[in-house]
Amino acid sequence: MFDIKPVNTDFDNEIQHKIDTKTKPLGALGDLETLALQIARVLGKDKPQISNPKMMVFAADHGIADSGVSIAPSEVTTQMVVNFMNGGAAINVFTRQEGFDLEVIDCGIVKPLENVEGVINQRLGAGTGPIHKRAAMTLGAVKQGFEMATARVELHHQNGCNLIALGEMGIGNTTSAAVMMAALTGMKGEDCVGRGTGIDAATYKRKKMLVEQALLLHHSELNDPMQVLACVGGFEIVQMTGAMLAAAERNMLIVVDGFIASAAALAAVKINPNVRDYMIFAHQSGEKGHYLMLEFLQAKPLLKLGMKLGEGTGAALALPLIQAAVNFYNEMASFEDAGIDI
């Protein structure tokens, strides 16, 4: 479905030499040096630039939320999307701070928005099916979600964007992401389930039970990533997955937010492993299974702040570090340039 080329590593020695001969001790900028190498591989070795970066926040509801797996009801998804559009959420604060262009996409919240301007309509339905009772959606809906996400990424690409960051909003989506994680990694369901935004012990116990129930119900169909998305995914997770694959196909950098976005990244890597080369993992969230997911993806996140908000907030906070990696690579003098003998 996606023609994603592996990044070109032919110039790695040249790129690394440029990094190593900057006016600093060898390796002194730590993970920024690794990040600079990755960016130069994707955007070009001579003078890579971040162009028109876009924060894409995907919102949808989950049928399993009605079974009490979160601190909030599904209606809060709609209310938070309105908050996004009014500029009052954490993601608005951080994107304004960074000059990061933000768009919000309705992938299928239960209550359609009325009289709210600016939300992108890419609805696949009014919330998914309850995954512990039936499939979240059809395979056709997954493919439609990929097509919608691809069209959106293509629009940004045509407008000169070469970096997208992905966030989400959807009550109950940590449950869906946990089931996806177990299905795609082979880990035990209980190791993938966290407390989301802060559920109590009784709710946590019920959440783990429903995750196991979903895994058992769909067991025979969880050997294919597309079927995993259809059986236990979310409308927003599907479109994040499609956006990642589409961005990599267009040689764009992908900034992955927290646990939910990483579940989408995991699905994308299972569909086409080459997409992994284009991914920058913003942070390790406070969600229980996220560090295991990052380890599975062989990803070292840029930040570890104990955050578990979602919305793309970690990805927004990572943008200055990404820009710093680009800037030192392009602007920092070499020992030869500075006339420093070593």
- The catalytic residue positions are 311
Residue 293: which H helix or E strand, with range?
helix 290-296
Distance of alpha carbon 112 from alpha carbon 285, whole angstroms? 30
Q: What are the phi and psi torsion angles at 310 (to 5°)?
A: 80, -150
Distance of alpha carbon 222 from alpha carbon 330, whole angstroms? 45
Q: What are the phi and psi torsion angles at 41 (to 5°)?
A: -60, -40
Strand order in the sheet with 163-169: 120-121, 101-108, 54-60, 163-169, 253-256, 279-281
Query: Which CB contacts under 8 angstroms, 24+ apart, belong to 20-23?
Result: 21/334, 21/335, 21/336, 22/328, 22/332, 22/333, 22/334, 22/335, 23/332, 23/333, 23/334, 23/335, 23/337, 23/338, 23/340
Residue 295, CA distances (Å) to 84, 116, 201, 266 in order: 32, 40, 27, 11
